[in-house]
């Protein structure tokens, strides 16, 4: 169960479908939702399911109307015949209890010759002979299968199928059964066309009897009269057979039949037996059970409440049987397993599908990006570029070498701007001086020779030459009186020339 603190009980009787949704809180049990619906005409015949689909639709409709989403539920047995019996175990307890019970059931006139579905519960009180006793509940297996089919159609997953009287006694145990040590308590569950009588003696279940009232169910007076007779028979049995004549008796009727008015039942019982008679009906659910009052809900089936309490382990009674066949449990487990496996496989497939989709999307995006990059990227391959680079490097090396070697040819070669030099010389010649010879001196200089009227004019000439841009330096190298011409001075000026930078 998804939420074990909330439990659903579904009780189906001949006339009525009842549901109770109970929550276990710290404060106690709380009735969350309760409701009932009539059994559709033709859905049930003689206490058995005649039309599972019709009954399932009614149940589904009720759950939908009450907005109950929980689908796991404890359900009361809807089948006939039903066997409820306390069986004394032999002194040597049987090794195979199931086989022993099946043997006991085979001797029962109710289920003789039928495939039975049964369950049992050990009782704490031994028999008067000191033998261990068990409470056996059984029904026709085919009827139980019909019921499971109906529940499947209704979308309900039964956690247990239980006898109605067990659910009812569980519901009222804390308030009405427990601690009744000073009296025998006779409980009569009037559940549709069935009546279950059980006697609690010294706080322990001592007797149980299932009575089919289907012949009297349509006549309330007869129904009550028959009930009275059956109750009386039990008390007489105890008076005679159990040596309990002096015991005090209390009678408690649990009414789960909408045709019986609780007040009428109480009146009939008190009048008939002169005993204290209590009646528990859906309207008195809060008084008869431990369920805390919910002002929004006036009434709730006591059996349905007891069924819901079973899953919460909230009842004081330990009486409980489960009539769901083991095969059904296995089938349920197998179905659950298949469902789980299928879900897991589906999740895996979905995961792979989504992953594949995502990856495919990524691949598409990558392809687009690669194509764009291919278009954007340079067309030249790196090999071509590298080869081109090698060629250019080689070319640079070759040209650099060529340039260097060509430059070396002119290394040391001085180029002079002779027209300008000669023009400068001509411009700077003083009037008292003339030149007789101009001679280059190796590659660096020029020697000017001539005659002058005075020494001064020679030096002036040298100074003027030195100021010229074409001449780096002009030094008077030699002066001498001219022996041939009086008053004339022969001179020699050594010049260092400026090279022509342009060439």
Partner 1 sequence: MAKSKVLKLNPTSKVLVSLSSIIIAAMAAYNWTVGPQTSYLRAAHLYEVMVGDAGQMTRVIKTQMNAKTQTVENLNAEIGRIQNSFFTPKQANEFFLDLEPIAHQCDCTVDKLVFLASESVAYKGGQDDSCSINVKRSAISFTGVYPNIIKFLQRLSNYSQRIVINDLHIESNDLIDGELSCQMTITIYLIEDKEFKGDE
119: β partners: 137
d(CA 168, CA 309): 10
Residue 437 binds partner 1, judged by CB under 8 A = yes
Q: What is the DSSP letter of 417?
A: -
Residue 387 binds partner 1, judged by CB under 8 A = no
Closer of 292 and 415 to partner 1 (Cβ):
415
Residue 462 binds partner 1, judged by CB under 8 A = no
Shortest distance, CB of residue 374 to partner 1, whole angstroms?
8
Shortest distance, CB of residue 356 to partner 1, whole angstroms?
5
User: Hey, what are 437's tokens?
Assistant: 């010879």
- Choosing from 377, 484, 486, 501, the residue that interacts with partner 1 (CB under 8 A) is 377
Restricted to residues 161-220, the positions that interact with partner 1 (CB under 8 A) are none
Restricted to residues 484-503, the positions that interact with partner 1 (CB under 8 A) are 503
Residue 98 binds partner 1, judged by CB under 8 A = no
User: Hey, what are 129's tokens?
Assistant: 């002979």
Residue 415 binds partner 1, judged by CB under 8 A = yes
- Choosing from 417, 461, 471, 474, the residue that interacts with partner 1 (CB under 8 A) is 417
441: β partners: 445
Closer of 41 and 377 to partner 1 (Cβ):
377
Closer of 245 and 409 to partner 1 (Cβ):
409
Shortest distance, CB of residue 465 to partner 1, whole angstroms?
15
User: For residue 90, how far is the Cα from the chain centroid?
Assistant: 54
Task: Give the range of 12-20, 139-147, 390-398, 462-470 binding partner 1 by CB under 8 A.
Answer: 390-398
Shortest distance, CB of residue 489 to partner 1, whole angstroms?
16
Closer of 410 and 455 to partner 1 (Cβ):
410
Closer of 26 and 405 to partner 1 (Cβ):
405
Residue 367 binds partner 1, judged by CB under 8 A = yes
Restricted to residues 324-363, the positions that interact with partner 1 (CB under 8 A) are 333, 337, 341, 344-345, 348-349, 351-352, 355-356, 359-360, 362-363
Angle at which helices 164-172 and 302-312 cross, to 10°: 80
Residues near 348 by Cβ (< 8 Å), separated by ≥ 6?
none
> Around Cβ 121, how many Cβ atoms within 10 Å?
16
Contact 277, 249 (CB under 8 A): no
How far is the CA of 404 from the CAs of 87, 409, 502, in angstroms? 128, 9, 18
256: β partners: 191
Contact 209, 198 (CB under 8 A): yes
> Around Cβ 454, how many Cβ atoms within 10 Å?
14
User: Hey, what are 475's tokens?
Assistant: 């030094």
- Choosing from 3, 373, 375, 486, the residue that interacts with partner 1 (CB under 8 A) is 373
Residues 233-272: x/- map of binding to partner 1 (CB under 8 A)? ----------------------------------------
The SS3 assignment for 488 reads: coil
Residue 403 binds partner 1, judged by CB under 8 A = yes
Shortest distance, CB of residue 97 to partner 1, whole angstroms?
22
**Omega before 81 within 30 of 0, i.e. cis:** yes
Shortest distance, CB of residue 310 to partner 1, whole angstroms?
25
Q: How many residues bind partner 1 (CB under 8 A)?
A: 63
Contact 428, 435 (CB under 8 A): no
Closer of 254 and 448 to partner 1 (Cβ):
448
Where are any strands of DSSP class E within 203-329? 204-212, 249-256, 277-280
d(CA 9, CA 298): 17
Helices (H), 377-454: 382-409, 418-428
Task: Give the range of 258-266, 279-287, 401-409, 459-467 binding partner 1 by CB under 8 A.
Answer: 401-409
Shortest distance, CB of residue 109 to partner 1, whole angstroms?
35
Q: What is the DSSP letter of 163?
A: -
Nearest alpha-carbon partner for 111 in 150, 89, 86, 137 = 137
Contact residues: partner 1, CB under 8 A: 333, 337, 341, 344-345, 348-349, 351-352, 355-356, 359-360, 362-363, 366-367, 369-370, 373-374, 377-378, 380, 382, 385-386, 388-389, 392-393, 395-396, 399-400, 402-403, 405-410, 413, 415-419, 422-423, 426, 429, 434-440, 443, 446, 503
């Amino acid at each position: 169960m998804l939420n074990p603190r909330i439990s659903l009980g579904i009780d189906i009787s001949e006339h009525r479908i009842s549901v109770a949704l109970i929550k276990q809180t710290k404060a106690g049990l709380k009735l969350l939702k309760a409701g009932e619906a009539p059994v559709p005409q033709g859905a049930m015949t003689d206490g058995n399911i005649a039309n599972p689909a019709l009954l399932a639709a009614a149940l589904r409709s009720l759950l939908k109307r009450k907005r109950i989403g929980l689908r796991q539920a404890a359900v009361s047995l809807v089948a006939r015949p039903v066997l409820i019996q306390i069986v004394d175990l032999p002194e040597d307890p049987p090794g195979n209890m199931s086989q022993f019970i099946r043997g006991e059931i085979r001797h029962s006139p109710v289920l003789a010759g039928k495939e039975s579905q049964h369950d049992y519960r050990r009782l704490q009180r031994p028999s008067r002979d000191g033998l261990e006793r068990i409470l056996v509940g059984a029904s026709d297996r085919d009827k139980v299968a019909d019921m499971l089919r109906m529940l499947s159609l209704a979308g309900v997953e039964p956690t247990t199928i239980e006898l109605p009287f067990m659910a009812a006694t569980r519901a009222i145990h804390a308030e009405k059964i427990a601690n009744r040590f000073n009296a025998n308590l006779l409980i009569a569950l009037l559940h549709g066309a069935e009546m279950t009588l059980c006697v609690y003696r010294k706080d322990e279940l001592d007797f149980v009897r299932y009575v089919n009232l289907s012949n009297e169910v349509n006549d309330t007076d007869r129904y009550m009269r028959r009930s009275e007779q059956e109750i009386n028979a039990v008390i007489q049995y105890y008076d005679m057979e159990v040596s309990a004549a002096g015991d005090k008796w209390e009678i408690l009727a649990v009414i789960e039949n909408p045709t019986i008015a609780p007040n009428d039942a109480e009146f009939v019982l008190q009048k008939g037996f002169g005993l204290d008679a209590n009646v528990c009906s859906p309207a008195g659910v809060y008084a008869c059970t431990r369920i805390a009052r919910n002002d929004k809900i006036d009434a709730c089936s006591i059996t349905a409440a007891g069924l819901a309490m079973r899953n919460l382990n909230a009842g004081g009674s330990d009486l409980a049987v489960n009539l769901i066949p083991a095969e059904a449990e296995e089938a349920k487990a197998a179905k659950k397993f298949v469902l789980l496996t299928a879900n897991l496989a589906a999740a895996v497939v979905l995961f792979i599908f989504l992953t594949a989709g995502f990856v495919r999307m990524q691949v598409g995006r990558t392809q687009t990006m690669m194509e764009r990059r291919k278009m954007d990227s340079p067309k030249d391959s790196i090999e071509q570029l590298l080869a081109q680079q090698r060629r250019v490097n080689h070319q640079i090396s070759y040209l650099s070498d060529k340039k260097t070697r060509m430059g070396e040819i002119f290394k040391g070669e001085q180029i002079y701007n002779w027209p300008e030099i000669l023009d400068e010389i001509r411009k700077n010649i003083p009037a008292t001086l003339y030149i007789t010879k101009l001679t280059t001196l190796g590659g660096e200089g020029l020697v000017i020779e001539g005659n002058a009227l005075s020494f001064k004019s020679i030096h002036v000439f040298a100074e003027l030459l030195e100021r010229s841009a074409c001449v780096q330096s002009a030094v008077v190298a030699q002066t001498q009186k001219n022996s041939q011409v009086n008053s004339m001075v022969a001179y020699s000026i050594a010049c260092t020339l400026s090279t022509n930078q342009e060439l």
